[in-house]
């Protein structure tokens, strides 16, 4: 019997569509100097929309210093890095940016990757596969990149309840001192917006002589006096063994990194295939990231503006009874809890109001927790917030969705 791959693929895609979980990309063109306004390209032409689901939280992708640094580096060094870091791809900008990131997190050194996903996948898979007799203790709601890295390593793993130091302590206590232990967790959950008790988790890990691996991708740039993340904000950076971050969110570019001791980072640099065999980031990206990190170490304006917009949006949603997860972070999940309705609301926001919010469905979030993941930025205005909330209020009434009870 000859199997038809196309038939199988078609059936699987149809099932995804029937469940309401099939994803359609919006073809967005950002306008320099006008963000959060952008152009939405459709068959009918280009229409201006307001973006409410970008991870460029502080608008650094629009920052003049960043753009100039990128242009200058491109004219000086050309377009690409020329190879992997091991073969001709390590540039002066790599060294400068890694020094800047190490200083940001008060660590001895840092290592750049092509994305935050690759940083997690490569680092955790290397630690899990190369460290003998190791068990990785993974928070149940960790990023897909962390899960994939642990899975690829084929090491033993234990899943502990999100943010529960008690459950982590119980799981760690199951193993004696001969077991090498790694605790992997996130500071800010990307979909629910809750913040982990980083210091308490590190204290439990230290009690069991465990290495701590902290994903700060949704926190770097945004939290702490210099943008070092939740660990910096809470004064516990020195308690974390490895801090992982991204340049693709609050810093407005692309790339990922880890920071830690010389020995730890050099170990991963020397054995991680996801680092060794990947073409290096180009000079223009590195120069822009360097400018962004340096800027946010000194400037508090962007963080303050973004926090004000988050607080204003939460207040206005509460006033109108639009249900959202109350969390201490900057991510505002507006709950719909139905995949088809979630997509319908997102479509209506785009078509009727010129508001772009991507629906978040399974497998990104569990079934029954579908939502609009709204991320106010430093470049949104009070008028933008008011317009968004009015649009949501109209659609909540039109679609007979349940409202939050004050």
Catalytic residues: 249
Q: Residue 90: left (phi > 0), alpha (psi -120 to 50), or beta?
A: beta
DSSP per-residue codes, 320-363: HT--B---SSS-EEEE---HHHHHHHHHHHHHHH-EE--EE-TT
Q: Which residues pair with 369 in a beta bridge?
A: none
Pairing relation of β-strands 156-160 and 180-186? Answer: unpaired
Tokens 């928070």 appear where? 139
Tokens of 107: 């660590």
- On the question of a cis peptide bond just before residue 247, with omega within 30 degrees of 0, the verdict is no
Residue 132 CA: distances (Å) to CA of 24, 41, 74, 214, 271: 43, 52, 44, 21, 14
Exposed/middle/buried for 290, CB within 10 Å: 0-12, 13-18, 19+?
Answer: buried
d(C-alpha 36, C-alpha 382), whole Å: 13
Q: What is the DSSP code (8-state) at residue 238?
A: G
d(C-alpha 85, C-alpha 263), whole Å: 18
DSSP per-residue codes, 53-93: --S-TT-GGG-HHHHHHHHHHHHHH-S---SBIIIII--HH
DSSP per-residue codes, 267-305: HHHHH-HHHHTSBPPPHHHHHHHHHHHHHHHH--HHHHH
Whether the CB-CB separation of 349 and 43 falls below 8 Å is answered with no
Q: Residue 55: left (phi > 0), alpha (psi -120 to 50), or beta?
A: alpha
d(C-alpha 72, C-alpha 284), whole Å: 8
Q: Which of 289, 309, 299 is nearest to 113 (CA)?
A: 289
d(C-alpha 176, C-alpha 153), whole Å: 21
Whether the CB-CB separation of 214 and 243 falls below 8 Å is answered with yes
């Amino acid at each position: 019997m000859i199997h038809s791959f196309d038939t199988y693929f078609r059936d699987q895609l149809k099932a995804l569509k029937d469940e309401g979980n099939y994803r359609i990309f919006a073809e967005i063109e950002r306008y320099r100097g006008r963000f959060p306004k952008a152009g939405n390209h459709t068959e009918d032409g280009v229409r201006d929309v307001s973006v409410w689901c970008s991870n460029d939280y502080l608008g650094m992708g629009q920052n003049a210093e960043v753009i100039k640094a990128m242009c200058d580096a491109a004219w000086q060094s050309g377009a690409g890095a020329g190879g992997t870091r091991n073969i001709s791809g390590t540039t002066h900008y790599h060294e400068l940016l890694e020094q800047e990131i190490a200083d940001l997190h008060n660590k001895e050194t840092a290592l750049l990757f092509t994305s935050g996903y690759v940083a997690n996948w490569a680092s955790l898979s290397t630690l899990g596969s190369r460290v003998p007799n190791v068990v990785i203790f993974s928070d149940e709601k960790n990023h897909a990149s962390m899960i994939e890295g642990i899975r690829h390593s084929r090491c033993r793993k234990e899943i502990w309840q999100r943010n529960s130091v008690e459950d982590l302590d119980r799981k760690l206590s199951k193993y004696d001192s001969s077991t090498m232990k790694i605790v992997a967790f996130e500071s800010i959950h990307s979909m629910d917006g809750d913040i982990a008790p980083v210091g308490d988790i590190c204290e439990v890990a230290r009690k069991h002589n465990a290495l701590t691996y902290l994903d700060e991708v949704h926190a770097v740039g945004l939290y702490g006096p210099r943008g070092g993340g939740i660990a910096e904000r809470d004064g516990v950076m020195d308690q974390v063994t490895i801090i992982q971050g991204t340049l693709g969110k609050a810093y407005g570019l692309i790339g990922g990194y880890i920071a830690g001791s010389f020995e730890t980072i050099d170990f991963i640099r020397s054995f991680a295939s996801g680092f060794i065999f990947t073409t290096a980031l180009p000079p223009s990206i590195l120069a822009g990231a360097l400018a962004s990190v340096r800027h946010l170490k000194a400037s508090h304006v962007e963080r303050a503006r973004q926090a004000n917009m988050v607080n204003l949006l939460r207040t206005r949603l509460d006033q109108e009874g639009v249900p959202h997860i109350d969390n201490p972070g900057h991510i505002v999940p507006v709950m719909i809890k139905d995949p088809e309705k979630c997509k319908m609301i997102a479509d209506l926001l785009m078509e009727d109001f010129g508001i772009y919010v991507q629906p978040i469905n399974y497998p990104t979030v569990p079934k029954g927790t579908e939502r609009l993941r709204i991320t106010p930025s430093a470049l949104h205005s009070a008028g933008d917030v008011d317009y968004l909330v009015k649009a949501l209020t109209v659609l909540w009434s039109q679609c007979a969705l349940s409202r939050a009870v004050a």
